[in-house]
């Protein structure tokens, strides 16, 4: 982690949060530090505990164990209405019996602000979210994009310390998402409010988050800046969850010069690493774009396989090979030049040991 | 000709349509009969064939020879129904709200609540009267009858409110909580307005069930009778079309009341309706 600069102020701190429902452990010892104004994405498959963690922060769930601090103040057992947070729900949860203006005003009314102040501030916020024309409409008559704006305006009007977002753009049309993502990122940077964004979509997490927290089976697998998660996955789960990684599992066969030779069902490969006993189980990964079909002397890791499909994404051509252990191998070729390998062809792919990442995380 | 699986054949439509009409006639014809006989002539009886037609019996009601006997029971029954309705609203909403939280023993609570529907009314009334006698509590329409009737109206209101909360989106309450509203404020500003149609439904249930309740009132009312008891007593004494005129008049009033309530609900729903774009 980055060394701390003289007690940086934390907007949020989770210390070993645990939440159990009967025999099911939803959150198992989650610890997290969110600096002031940070954009944090909780990323993971459904049921990994990301939403429960978010609900614990909001106060909608009470953790069985652990502490929650918001702005340095312990709030673990405080009710939601006493916490300096706001939350945006996936389906927006607008109040169907109130107009847009009433929805947006709700948070200020709860703070018992004078009526004139509320009216003025609501006007201002409606205008800044470009929904002033909808002020007297009921949520039922709004489109998905309009509802999203109303929900955001309603959450932001009290200027909370932290905004919690539970799959906030999951209910939107695909074509809208990119625009909304950019707007939200700009809004977050302008206001300096910490965002905690729960998603199962890695594109959202990597393009938005300052800090990406990957969760699986109620635990945090890895947390760090997007680049770190992408380039140096800590566990086999993170590597396989993040697109574009080829994951191998095997046993250490030999160790020398900070290089390990790992025997896998798909062959033996060289992986940078040290301090591991011979025969211990390890996993490692190599990114699809680090493979090449024009192998040179430094591409010490080689694998021959049959190409089963080629997918073309515009800037990248992805080749899918079938590994001898039955798993798929992905090889990305950048640039718009013509394909060198066609489906059905057998090719030898190589990569450098230094492009290989040994998974060092404990979980998974 | 082959028809699509979503279309009904002509024969099916006719059969189902006829059955429906017969069913509705079976349900409503007795009331029409009652209405018709109330227009019998001055010498008419309470059975067919009718002996002339007139407004004679309505005049009698208007002149209030019989109505005078019915006025106090009518007032009692109305007050009783109103009290049962309000009690049902409050208790049913609270009980259903409690059931949402799935407390310890909530399964037992559910079945105990429904016992009021399952138990035969006449036995409940009789048993309750005996119990009151043992306890030395005097029987009266506004104490003992009220309690017995609430045990009858409450389960219906409870089921209504359970159904309403079953379709209720918990997220809007959570949104209010995260926006700084306490639980009481959330209930007042968000939950209650959204379930209000159901609450009114539970109240109407309570009113109409109490208003014409006979078996549970029979043993528990004491000297001052409720309307169903008074009407029954009148039927025992003398049977003239006057009683039909009373019935027709009250039915008309009920219809008007229900229509007004329905219209009110419709207007309320329209203002909160989810309109699709």
Q: List all residues of chain A from 284 to 313 with a beta carbon under 8 Å from chain B.
A: none
Query: Measured between CA atoms, how close is B88 to chain A, in angstroms?
Result: 25
Residue B244, pLDDT score: 79
Cβ contact A107–B172 (<8 Å): no
Query: Is A179 in the B-facing interface, judged by CB distances under 8 Å?
Result: no
On whether any CB of chain B is under 8 Å from the CB of A79, the answer is yes
In this complex, do B272 and A81 lie within 8 Å of one another by their Cβ atoms?
no
Answer whether residue B47 shows pLDDT above 90: no
The β-bridge partners of A260 are A255, A271
Q: Does A164 touch chain B (CB under 8 A)?
A: yes
Partner B contacted by A203 (CB < 8 A):
no
Q: What are phi and psi of A87, to 5 degrees?
A: -135, 140
Give Cβ neighbours of residue B49 (< 8 Å, ≥ 6 apart). none
* Nearest in space to A302 (alpha carbons), one of A312, A292, A316, A317: A292
Positive or negative torsion for Cα A316, A322, A326, A331? negative
Q: Does A60 touch chain B (CB under 8 A)?
A: yes
Contacts of B171 in chain A (CB under 8 A): 89, 91, 93
Instruction: Give the nearest partner residue to B181 out of A81, A83, A138, using CB atoms.
Output: A81
Instruction: Verify whether the Cβ–Cβ distance B274 to A140 is below 8 Å.
Output: yes
Which residue in A91, A96, A118, A160 has the most chain B C-beta atoms within 10 A of its own C-beta, making it the best mutation to test that interface?
A: A96
Cβ-based neighbours of A260, under 8 Å, separated by 6 or more: A252, A253, A254, A270, A271, A272, A273, A274, A276, A282, A358
Q: Which of A95, A153, A159 to mutate to test the interface with B (most CBs of B within 10 A)?
A: A95
Sign of CA dihedral B184, B189, B191, B193: positive
CB contact set of A290 (below 8 Å; sequence gap of 6+): A351, A352, A355
A96 touches chain B (CB under 8 A): yes
Q: How far is CA A331 from CA A9, A52, A246, A285, in A?
A: 43, 36, 9, 13
Whether B267 has its CB under 8 Å from any CB of chain A: the answer is: no
Of chain B residues 97-156, which have a CB less than 8 A from chain A? none
The minimum CA-CA distance between A7 and chain B, rounded to whole Å, is 29
Q: Which residues of B touch A81 (CB under 8 A)?
A: 177-182
According to the model, what pLDDT value does residue A54 have?
A: 97
Q: What is the largest CA-CA distance in chain A?
A: 75
Which of B178, B181, B274 best tests the A interface by mutation, with the highest count of A CBs <10 A?
Answer: B178
Reported as a single tens digit per residue, the pLDDT across B15-44 is 999 999 999 999 888 888 888 888 877 777
Percent of chain B with pLDDT over 70: 93
The HSE-up count of residue A349 (CA atoms within 13 Å, CB side) is: 28
Residue from the list B175, B193, B194 with its beta carbon closest to the beta carbon of A89? B175
Which pLDDT belongs to residue A220? 96
Q: How far apart are CA A65 and CA B253, in angstroms?
A: 61
Q: Quick one: pLDDT at residue B9?
A: 81
Q: Which of B169, B178, B274 sits opposite A85 (nearest CB)?
A: B178
Q: What's the fold here for domain B69-272?
A: MetI-like fold (1.10.3720)
Residue of A nearest to B269 (CA): A97
Contact A95, A139 (CB under 8 A): yes
A vs B, Cβ pairs < 8 A, gives: 79
ipTM score above 0.90? no
Q: Which residues of A touch B276 (CB under 8 A)?
A: 140
- Per the listing, tokens 């006698």 go with B133
Q: Which domains does chain A have, with CATH numbers?
A: 1-84+160-231 (3.40.50.300), 96-159 (no CATH), 236-358 (2.40.50.100)
- Nearest-by-Cβ selection for B272 from A59, A85, A96: A96
Q: Which run of H or E residues covers position A15?
A: strand A10-21
| Separation between Cα atoms, residue A40 and residue A53, nearest integer Å | 13
A80 to chain B, any CB pair closer than 8 A? The answer is yes
Contact at 8 Å (CB) between B140 and B221? yes
User: Which residue, among A10, A50, A33, has the nearest Cα to A217 in the 3D structure?
Assistant: A50
Q: Average pLDDT over chain B, rounded to whole?
A: 86
The better pLDDT of the pair B268, B112 is held by B112
Q: How far is B203 from chain A (nearest CA, A)?
A: 21
Q: How far is CA B228 from CA A156, B82, B235, in A?
A: 59, 16, 10
Per-residue pLDDT of chain A (364 residues; tens, 9 = 90+): 555 455 558 999 999 999 999 999 999 999 999 999 999 999 999 999 999 999 999 999 999 999 999 999 999 999 999 999 999 999 999 999 999 999 999 999 999 999 999 999 999 999 999 999 999 999 999 999 999 999 999 999 999 999 999 999 988 888 889 999 999 999 999 999 999 999 999 999 999 999 999 999 999 999 999 999 999 999 999 999 998 999 999 999 999 888 999 999 999 999 999 888 899 999 999 999 999 988 888 889 999 999 999 988 888 899 999 988 888 999 998 876 667 888 999 999 999 999 999 998 764 4
- For chain B, positions 166-225, list CB contacts with chain A under 8 A: 169, 171-172, 174-183, 185, 189-190, 193-194
Percent of chain B past pLDDT 90, that is, above it, reads 47
Average pLDDT, integer, range B244-255:
80
In chain A, DSSP finds a helix count (H) and a strand count (E) of 8, 19
Beta bridge pairs of residue A87: A164
**Model pLDDT for residues B172-226, shown as the tens digit of each residue:** 999 999 999 999 999 999 999 999 989 988 998 899 899 889 999 999 988 888 9
Instruction: Give which of B168, B174, B179 to mutate to test A binding, by max A Cβ within 10 Å.
Output: B179
């Amino acid at each position: 982690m980055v060394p701390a600069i003289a007690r940086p102020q934390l907007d949020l701190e989770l210390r070993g949060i645990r939440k159990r429902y009967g025999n099911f452990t939803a959150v198992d010892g989650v610890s997290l530090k969110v600096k002031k104004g940070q954009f944090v994405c909780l990323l993971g498959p459904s049921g990994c505990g990301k939403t429960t963690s978010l609900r614990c922060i909001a106060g909608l769930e009470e953790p069985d164990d652990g502490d929650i601090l918001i702005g340095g103040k312990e709030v673990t057992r405080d009710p939601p209405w006493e916490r300096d947070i706001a939350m945006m729900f996936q389906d927006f949860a607008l109040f169907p019996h109130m107009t847009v203006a009433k929805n947006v005003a709700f948070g200020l009314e709860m703070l018992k602000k004078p009526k004139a102040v509320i009216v003025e501030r609501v006007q201002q916020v409606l205008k800044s979210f470009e929904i002033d024309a909808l002020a007297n409409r009921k949520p039922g008559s709004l489109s998905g994009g309009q509802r999203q704006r109303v929900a955001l305006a309603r959450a932001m009007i009290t200027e909370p310390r932290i905004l919690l977002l539970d799959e906030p753009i999951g209910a939107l049309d695909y074509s809208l998402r990119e625009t909304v993502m950019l707007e939200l990122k700009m809004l977050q940077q302008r206001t300096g409010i910490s965002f905690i964004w729960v998603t199962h979509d890695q594109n959202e997490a990597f393009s938005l988050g300052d800090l990406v927290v990957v969760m699986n089976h109620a635990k945090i697998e890895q947390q760090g800046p997007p680049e770190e998660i992408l380039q140096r996955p800590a566990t086999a789960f993170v590597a396989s969850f993040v697109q574009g990684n080829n994951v191998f599992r095997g046993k250490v066969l030999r160790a020398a010069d900070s290089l390990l030779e790992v025997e896998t069902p798909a062959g033996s490969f060289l992986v940078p690493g040290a301090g591991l006993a011979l025969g211990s189980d390890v996993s490692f990964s190599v990114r699809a774009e680090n493979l090449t079909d024009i192998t040179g002397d430094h591409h010490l890791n080689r694998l021959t396989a049959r190409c089963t499909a080629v997918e073309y994404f515009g800037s990248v051509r992805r080749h899918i090979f079938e590994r001898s252990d039955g798993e798929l191998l992905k090889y990305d070729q950048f640039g718009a030049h013509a394909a060198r390998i066609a489906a059905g062809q057998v090719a030898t792919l190589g990569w450098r040991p230094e492009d290989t990442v040994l998974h060092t995380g404990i979980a998974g | 000709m082959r028809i699509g699986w979503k279309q009904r054949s002509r024969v099916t439509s006719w059969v189902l349509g006829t059955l429906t009409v017969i069913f509705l006639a079976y349900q409503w014809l007795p009331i029409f009969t009652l209405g018709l006989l109330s227009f019998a002539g001055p010498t008419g009886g309470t059975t067919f064939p009718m002996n002339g037609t007139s407004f004679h019996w309505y005049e009698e009601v208007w002149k209030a020879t019989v109505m005078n006997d019915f006025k106090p029971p009518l007032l009692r029954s109305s007050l009783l129904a109103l009290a049962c309705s309000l009690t049902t609203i409050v208790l049913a909403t609270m009980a259903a709200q409690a059931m949402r939280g799935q407390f310890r023993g909530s399964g037992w609570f559910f079945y105990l609540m429904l016992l009021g529907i399952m138990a035969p009314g006449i036995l409940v009334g009789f048993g309750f009267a005996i119990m009151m006698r043992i306890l030395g509590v005097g029987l009266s329409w506004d104490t003992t009858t009220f309690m017995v009737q609430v045990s009858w109206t409450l389960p219906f209101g409870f089921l209504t409110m359970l159904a309403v909360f079953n379709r209720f989106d918990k997220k809007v309450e959570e949104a209010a909580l995260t926006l700084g509203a306490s639980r009481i404020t959330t209930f007042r500003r968000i939950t209650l307005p959204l379930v209000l149609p159901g609450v009114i439904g539970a109240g109407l249930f309570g009113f109409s069930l109490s208003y014409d309740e006979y078996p549970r009132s029979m043993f528990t009312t004491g000297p001052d009778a409720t309307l169903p008891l008074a009407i029954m007593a009148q039927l025992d004494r003398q049977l003239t079309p006057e009683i039909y005129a009373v019935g027709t008049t009250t039915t008309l009033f009920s219809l008007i009341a229900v229509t007004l309530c329905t219209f009110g609900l419709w207007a309320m729903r329209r203002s909160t309706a989810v309109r699709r774009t």
